[in-house]
Chain A
Amino acid sequence: MTVKQLSLVTSALALGLMASGGASAQSKSLTLCWAAWDPANALVEMSKDFTKKTGIDMKYEFVPWPNFADRMLNELNARGKLCDLLIGDSQWIGTAATEKHYVELTDFFAKNNISMNDFLEPAVEGYSTWPKNSKKYWALPAMGDAVAWTYRKDWFNRADLKAAFKAKYGYDLAPPANWTQLKQVAEFFQGREIDGKKVYGAALYTERGSEGITMGFTSAFYAWGARYDNPNKPYDMKGFINSPDAVEALTAYKALYDCCTPPGHSNAYMTENLDAYKSGQVAMQMNFIAFFPGIAKDPNVGGEKTGFFSNPNQKTAGATLGGQGISVVAYSDKQDMAKEYLKWFAQPSIQKTWWDVGGAPAHKSVVDAPGFATSTPYAQVYLDSLKKVRDFWQEPSYAQLLQAMQKRVHTYVVAGSGTAQEALDGLLKDWTEVFKDDGKL
């Protein structure tokens, strides 16, 4: 090949590449970022309808949960254009709104008749608004979720176990009505032999690295009626985060961890709890409701073998909020198309389909519809949970607040160091320092 021929071939190749690049730039597509889990797969299937109706192709960037926050928050901080739409965790909304990572959607919702009154109030408050209690919206509620419980209904229904339980505790073996009963039921199963296999009481969240043990402990914290700060004086935390109720809740969570978890369950979050439950090791597990459709269909523990119950009350009703809202990323060049997706997603008919495929809508037209509560074995649990959810701080400093809590709670519950009072006093000190740095104290 001569030099002339070579240059001709190279030029043709370059032109071809430029042409294909130009063509793809013109094609209509959106990238949606979320965690890699079952609901994301359901969304992929459901979004084919959006592509069919609008001609906009959907691409996806799903990141496994342990890396989801790191990956996505880095992307936002770097003002990356990877995601046009992001289904981000509820706690991120403070930072995302303050730093304008998300596009404010208040006017867009108003112009397009998307009313937040059509969605469950706790979901709107948890996933969409910043500042809290305002009417400024940065996300559309996408995936309603909370920490709840599954239990082995087949074990609970065994006549021999029922009799043994009643003889020991004086009441029927059933899904626990409060945390005291939860511990008794877990104790009852701990180390018991069922079908020739040793089983354990409950799989709790104990993970140290990201948010696991905080999501677990706050399930008790809210049930004891404890609060992070003074409702009448924000950021005034003394006597709240380390109140006697908070201390009692932390002591109870540790007692449950010590007595009734499988051996070595010291760094467990969603996946580990699912593994422990699906493999038949535990009688109960705490986990996000988003996993319940998968559990209900599981070949080993699904169907009639599993029952569901919302987080037990203690001094009051409370459950830890999970779930996410869907936002338009401010650095996207395709914001108009992304808003089209939100318009499509907010339709009641699509919200209904979202529930049918395994998602968790918070649209009242779906959850208030007759027959919703009995549509699946966990629908009632979903409704009960969303009525009593509370969330962690959603402040721009939430990551620092979360990491401090992770460390203090794990040090007490799993490492067994110090007392519950010392752990929460230490947390008060850490959080005070964070808010002082932020100029809020």
Chain B
Amino acid sequence: MLRSATPLRGMTDRTLAWLFIGPTILLLLAFNLFPLIWTIILSFTNYRANRPSAAISGVGFDNYSRLMNDEAVWGYLQSTAHFVVGSIVLQVALGFALALLIDKKFRGHSFWTTAILMPIMLSPAVVGTFWTYFFQPQYGIFNYIIIFFSGVENFTMLGNVNLAPWAIILVDTWMWTPYVMLLLLAGLRSIPPYIYEAAEIDRASGFRLFFRITLPMVMPFLVLAVLFRLIENFKMFDLVNQLTNGGPGSATELASINLKRQAFEMWRTGYSSAFAMLLFVSIYGLSNIVVRYLEKVKQR
């Protein structure tokens, strides 16, 4: 038998609702909003976390102005853009191809689906570490394959300033293409079969089926995949940190890698807070554009 809820008697629905959502709101304020506001405040100071006894003073927009006028920062943003665009293009293209393949019924379907999904089950730091072994010039399997087919001697991927940016794209693509595939597979499975049947009765070619039915109907899922990967790769840290640590030189020094260096190795807390804000605004702006496009696609 249920006991009567005596202590709660007299509470309005509104009070009860606040009681339930209150802790969540408090947690959000403590772990999301407060750090954000604190970072904004720090970005206008000369504060250094390793010099707590030094005087802290406001520097106005100095940190932002330094950031904008620093050629190196633009270099890091350029490396980030190269990484983000390169990896997303490859992941979407390969993910779509794999999704189309997995969407068909064939022998060992479940086995292959699970096998393809395995990379996303690994930790990025682990992936970064074992790919450094794959790329190892003397015994790495990747290098062995390249040398076997090309005959090039002393091929090195991570130590080459032109190839290292492609190495991080390659590894990220290896790891995250299955994730894009999964999202696009959901899109493919959501297309009602009768649409294809009707188009086939009208003798539409495979080409037309793909561009008139498959692609438009999968588009919301595709844009969603781009949005997720855009956000993730813009703040990519662990995998690249493990693979190249930003090198050679600064060839793969993504914005997030440099941000960590500024904040926790060089201890320029004020400056790095400004840098973090710049990245936050960039990700927010880019995501907003993609979200708006997603809304448009969904309305079609």
* Interchain CA distance A209-B264 in the complex, whole Å: 12
A267 and B245 contacting across the interface, CB-CB below 8 Å: yes
- Please give, as numbers and ranges, the residues of chain A lying within 8 Å of B249 by CB-CB distance: 208, 407, 410-412, 414-415, 417
B299 CB-CB contact with A under 8 Å: no
Give 4 nearest A-B pairs by CB, closest first.
Answer: A415-B249, A266-B159, A264-B137, A411-B249
* Interchain CA distance A23-B207 in the complex, whole Å: 78
B13 CB-CB contact with A under 8 Å: no
Residue interface mask B235-265, A partner, CB < 8 A = 1? 0000001001111111100000000010011
Nearest Cβ in chain B — how far from A80, in angstroms? 13
Given contacts A262-B138, A267-B159, contact A400 B268 (CB under 8 A): yes
B158 and A266 contacting across the interface, CB-CB below 8 Å: yes
29 A-B residue pairs with Cβ-Cβ distance under 8 Å, sorted by A, are A73-B50, A95-B50, A95-B51, A100-B53, A208-B245, A208-B248, A208-B249, A209-B245, A209-B246, A262-B137, A263-B154, A264-B135, A264-B137, A264-B138, A264-B156, A264-B159, A266-B156, A266-B159, A281-B138, A396-B50, A400-B268, A403-B265, A411-B250, A412-B249, A414-B159, A414-B248, A415-B248, A415-B249, A415-B250
A11 CB-CB contact with B under 8 Å: no
- Please give, as numbers and ranges, the residues of chain B lying within 8 Å of A417 by CB-CB distance: 161, 249
Q: Which residues on A are within 8 Å of B, measured CB to CB? A: 69-70, 73-74, 77, 95, 98-100, 207-209, 262-267, 281, 396, 399-400, 403, 407, 410-412, 414-417, 437
Q: Which residues on B are within 8 Å of A, measured CB to CB? A: 46, 49-53, 135-138, 143, 154, 156, 158-159, 161, 241, 244-251, 261, 264-268
* Interchain CA distance A237-B52 in the complex, whole Å: 28
Residue of A nearest to B264 (CB): A70
* Interchain CA distance A266-B136 in the complex, whole Å: 10
* Interchain CA distance A74-B49 in the complex, whole Å: 9
- Please give, as numbers and ranges, the residues of chain A lying within 8 Å of B251 by CB-CB distance: 415
Which one of A262, A403, A415, A417 has the greatest number of beta carbons of chain B within 10 Å? A415
Known pairs A208-B249, A399-B50; list 12 more (Cβ under 8 Å): A95-B51, A208-B244, A262-B138, A263-B138, A263-B154, A264-B143, A266-B248, A399-B267, A403-B265, A414-B247, A414-B249, A416-B161
- Please give, as numbers and ranges, the residues of chain B lying within 8 Å of A74 by CB-CB distance: 264
- Please give, as numbers and ranges, the residues of chain B lying within 8 Å of A73 by CB-CB distance: 50
Nearest Cβ in chain B — how far from A336, in angstroms? 24
Residue of B nearest to A76 (CB): B50
Nearest Cβ in chain A — how far from B251, in angstroms? 6
- Please give, as numbers and ranges, the residues of chain B lying within 8 Å of A399 by CB-CB distance: 50, 265-267
- Please give, as numbers and ranges, the residues of chain B lying within 8 Å of A410 by CB-CB distance: 247-249
Contact of A267 among B52, B247, B265 (CB under 8 A): B247
* Interchain CA distance A77-B50 in the complex, whole Å: 5
Nearest Cβ in chain A — how far from B216, in angstroms? 45
* Interchain CA distance A203-B268 in the complex, whole Å: 33
Residue of A nearest to B157 (CB): A264
Nearest Cβ in chain A — how far from B133, in angstroms? 11
B52 and A99 contacting across the interface, CB-CB below 8 Å: yes
* Interchain CA distance A396-B261 in the complex, whole Å: 16
